[in-house]
Structure 1
Amino acid sequence: MTSIHPAWLPETVWPYQIQHLPVGQHLMAYTDAGHGPTLLLCHAGQWQFLWRDLIGRLRSSFRCVAFDPLGSGLSDRVPANLQSLTAVRDAIGHLIDHLDLRGITLVLHDLGGVTALAAAATRLHRLDGLVAANTFGWRPTGILLPGMLRIFGSTAMRELDALTAFLPTATSTRLGVGRQLDRPSRKTFRSGMDRAARRTMHRLFRDAARDTEVCRQAETTLEHLRDRPALSIFGAWGDYLRFQSKWRARLPRIEQTVIPRGLHFPMCDNPTVMAATIARWHQANHRPTC
């Protein structure tokens, strides 16, 4: 199902066709742009605008599929009981099946890591490899990561952000998604994070702090990928939880790189370098298909 751009998302800012997929009683928005090997661009908590500039640099050589989980971006807003990692996992799986994606390279960011890996646990035959960009793919352990997730997932933090929009506002600056964006693009990013979407984001943080089946399924997928091509791309100033070393421990063959001066959004900090790194790595590690 194809839809027109809403008024706040002009084609000059989002030059890709928007499509919608029924997921239960709701519609999930996705973008399917380009031709070639499939990159499934996965994020949970914000929305697919994060991937705009990366898609623009890769769609001449890759099929780039991005989406907005229910409750965010261009997708339908949903009740609280559907604002969970399980719901995101199921929606990703539904999208994979609907598009019959094969030979997938998962490109993961933030909570897109555990959710997409969990969705892939029952679709392992469809995977070729993964790119991890400032994300994790396992159960949160220790003190720091679970503590951060609980703080950002708390009711107080959720309602404060619902009232003030402090997190999307901060994220849209040069310290986040907005590093390479002009003013209209920053405004558009914030428009996709309305009050309901902000509440959804914080409920996903809360859910991620728990020892969930989604995280266990993600770990199962990582075991399957131990001998598959893998790449991690982190901002040079963004690996404050030392995820790079944890990816290395789980995927010994992984190639690792950093974005100079990058923070939490490498695809936005320097989309040119990230796109070139993915293209070179993919060419070196995947045989062309006839």
Structure 2
Amino acid sequence: MCAAADRPRRPDYPFTSQWFTHTDGSRQHYVDEGTGPPVLMVHGNPSWSYAWRHLIAALSDAYRCIAPDLLGMGLSERLAPPLPALLAGHQTAALDDLVRHLTDEHGAPRHGWTVVAHDWGGPIALTWACLNADKVDRVVVLNTAVFRFPEHGLPPWWFRLLHLRPVSTAAAHWTPGWAHGAARLGVTTPMPPPVRRAFTAPYRRRRRRAALARFIQDVPITRSDPGWALLAVVERMLPALDRTPMLVGWGMRDPVLRPPLADVWQQRFPHAHVLRFPDAGHYVLEDARAELVPAIRHFLDTTGERR
């Protein structure tokens, strides 16, 4: 659990903290707001459930919004070293445990789920969605990839340098540079200082940043990267979502997940509704909130459950 020093003011985040203890003793923080069809929101790196605050506020009058902090991130307990060999795979299993906990003990329905994912939340949440396709009625993806990078959409040189273990360890674990840099460079309109502080607060201390570095190292740029094998498996499972209503929201000025990836989503899922926001960055919900949040609400309201 976060120490008091890690709990500053969180603008627009009035939600009650919930906690789930996994069988290995790890405590996971999550938000569970509203009633109705469940919407599972999975963040990326170096974010946490705070990134979903505006979407939760816009949906919780009619939907049950569940936004976990990935283990080792946000307000969740930090993972004991050494970290799992494939961090995203570990997070997918933890996500499944959390959903089972909510359905078995807290009245969440077993079907009718919407999955919303951003950044590393994409491989984690969509792996879960493919394995539980009978439970998933809708998918919303925001600046993420669940397939290996096409040659024309590789991350820029500086990220490939950051991807190297010594560099990512120095930039994302030993210093707060990655968390603070993402909060500044991941948007085209600067975050107000209190919001930027809330985004980065869980990662102030070095002992709380290990997962940030590991997620960078796991990004599947080459065959030797741990994430490569995971995404190869996910790619083979993606046909399970071929008939699932899908909305793609893409910030076209994302410095890492670049515009060609939005085209790949459209090619892989021709039925998907793809929204491109030319002036939005990686944190598309920050830059394009005025358009994207109502678009997501409309998508949920109009697609409905298939059962």
TM-score of the alignment, normalized to the shorter chain, above 0.5: yes
Which amino acid is 1:132 matched to? V
Q: Which residue of the partner structure matches residue 52 of structure 1?
A: 53
Match of 1:121, SS state, is helix
Judging changes above 3 Å, is the alpha-carbon distance between structure 1 residues 275 and 61 closer, same or farther for their aligned structure 2 residues? farther
Q: Which residue of the partner structure matches residue 106 of structure 2?
A: none
State how 1:174-189 maps to structure 2 within 5 Å. 175-176=185-186, 179=189, 181-189=191-199
Tell me, yes or no, if the aligned pair for 2:250 and 2:275 is still in contact at 8 Å: yes
Judging changes above 3 Å, is the alpha-carbon distance between structure 1 residues 260 and 159 closer, same or farther for their aligned structure 2 residues? same
Match of 1:66, SS state, is strand
Q: Aligned partners of 1:39, 1:225: CA distance in 2, in Å?
A: 17
Judging changes above 3 Å, is the alpha-carbon distance between structure 1 residues 285 and 181 closer, same or farther for their aligned structure 2 residues? same
Tell me, yes or no, if the aligned pair for 2:252 and 2:258 is still in contact at 8 Å: no
1:131 maps onto 2:134 in alignment: no
Match of 1:172, SS state, is helix
Tell me, yes or no, if the aligned pair for 1:30 and 1:65 is still in contact at 8 Å: yes
Q: Aligned partners of 2:147, 2:117: CA distance in 1, in Å?
A: 13
Judging changes above 3 Å, is the alpha-carbon distance between structure 1 residues 178 and 158 closer, same or farther for their aligned structure 2 residues? farther
Q: Which residue of the partner structure matches residue 80 of structure 1?
A: 82
Q: Which residue of the partner structure matches residue 117 of structure 1?
A: 126
Q: Aligned partners of 1:39, 1:119: CA distance in 2, in Å?
A: 14
Match of 1:21, SS state, is strand
Q: Which residue of the partner structure matches residue 17 of structure 2?
A: 18
Q: Which residue of the partner structure matches residue 43 of structure 2?
A: 43
Deviation at 1:123, TM superposition (A): 1.6
Judging changes above 3 Å, is the alpha-carbon distance between structure 1 residues 11 and 262 closer, same or farther for their aligned structure 2 residues? closer
Q: Aligned partners of 2:306, 2:239: CA distance in 1, in Å?
A: 25
Query: Which of 221, 231, 234 matches 2:247?
Result: 231
Deviations 1:146-203 (A, max 9, x none): 9746733522222233333122212223x43694743223212211123234331121
Q: Aligned partners of 1:213, 1:65: CA distance in 2, in Å?
A: 28
Tell me, yes or no, if the aligned pair for 2:130 and 2:241 is still in contact at 8 Å: no
Deviation at 1:266, TM superposition (A): 1.1
Deviation at 1:288, TM superposition (A): 8.5
State how 1:1-290 maps to structure 2 within 5 Å. 6=4, 8-10=7-9, 13-23=12-22, 24-46=24-46, 47-78=48-79, 79-82=81-84, 84-100=87-103, 101-142=110-151, 144-145=154-155, 148=159, 151-152=162-163, 154-173=165-184, 175-176=185-186, 179=189, 181-194=191-204, 195-209=206-220, 210=225, 212-238=228-254, 240-287=258-305
Which amino acid is 2:28 matched to? M
Judging changes above 3 Å, is the alpha-carbon distance between structure 1 residues 242 and 80 closer, same or farther for their aligned structure 2 residues? farther
Tell me, yes or no, if the aligned pair for 1:149 and 1:205 is still in contact at 8 Å: no
Judging changes above 3 Å, is the alpha-carbon distance between structure 1 residues 5 and 255 closer, same or farther for their aligned structure 2 residues? farther
Q: Aligned partners of 1:161, 1:189: CA distance in 2, in Å?
A: 15
Q: Relative to structure 2, which stretch is displaced further, 185-194 or 20-29?
A: 185-194
Q: Aligned partners of 2:246, 2:53: CA distance in 1, in Å?
A: 22
Q: Percent of aligned positions with the same letter in both sequences? A: 25
Q: Aligned partners of 2:65, 2:234: CA distance in 1, in Å?
A: 22
Judging changes above 3 Å, is the alpha-carbon distance between structure 1 residues 288 and 216 closer, same or farther for their aligned structure 2 residues? closer
Tell me, yes or no, if the aligned pair for 1:5 and 1:18 is still in contact at 8 Å: no
Q: Aligned partners of 1:276, 1:159: CA distance in 2, in Å?
A: 39
Tell me, yes or no, if the aligned pair for 2:121 and 2:144 is still in contact at 8 Å: yes
Judging changes above 3 Å, is the alpha-carbon distance between structure 1 residues 12 and 50 closer, same or farther for their aligned structure 2 residues? closer
Judging changes above 3 Å, is the alpha-carbon distance between structure 1 residues 43 and 103 closer, same or farther for their aligned structure 2 residues? same
Tell me, yes or no, if the aligned pair for 2:11 and 2:198 is still in contact at 8 Å: no
Deviation at 1:221, TM superposition (A): 4.0
Deviation at 1:213, TM superposition (A): 4.6
Q: Aligned partners of 2:188, 2:40: CA distance in 1, in Å?
A: 22
Q: Which runs of 5+ in 2 are unaligned?
A: 104-109
Deviation at 1:102, TM superposition (A): 2.6
Q: Aligned partners of 2:2, 2:162: CA distance in 1, in Å?
A: 37
Q: Aligned partners of 2:201, 2:117: CA distance in 1, in Å?
A: 23
Q: Aligned partners of 1:171, 1:162: CA distance in 2, in Å?
A: 14
Which amino acid is 2:61 matched to? S
Q: Aligned partners of 2:182, 2:291: CA distance in 1, in Å?
A: 21
Deviation at 1:262, TM superposition (A): 0.5
Which amino acid is 2:167 matched to? A
